[in-house]
Amino acid sequence: MKEFNIKPIIDVLDKAIKDLEALRPEVCEYCNGDGYNIFSCCGDDIKGNDVDLCPSCFEQCGMEQEDCEYCGGTGFKGLE
């Protein structure tokens, strides 16, 4: 029975995987991939907070979502 060398096939698959990983967009570091931010009246990031109080002045400021200005709301770098 003749042996079959699978090393060339594995090399081709490894290269294809690396090429695909290079095409994957990076997650936006400003919104952590969510595509939006929530800022208080004093400009503090309050996304993820349970209450809508500003940590700087303690005023109630709401939880209005704003599209991330760095990724354009996509959550990824370079896709705006």
Contact 13, 41 (CB under 8 A): no
What CA–CA distance (Å, rounded) separates 38 from 48?
A: 9
What is the reported pTM?
A: 0.61
Nearest to 69 by CA among 25, 24, 27, 31: 31
Domain ranges of the chain: 26-80
pLDDT bucket at 79, cuts 50 / 70 / 90: low
pLDDT tens across 16-62, in order?
Answer: 999 988 888 889 999 999 999 999 989 888 888 888 888 899 988 88
- The predicted pLDDT at position 1 comes to 67
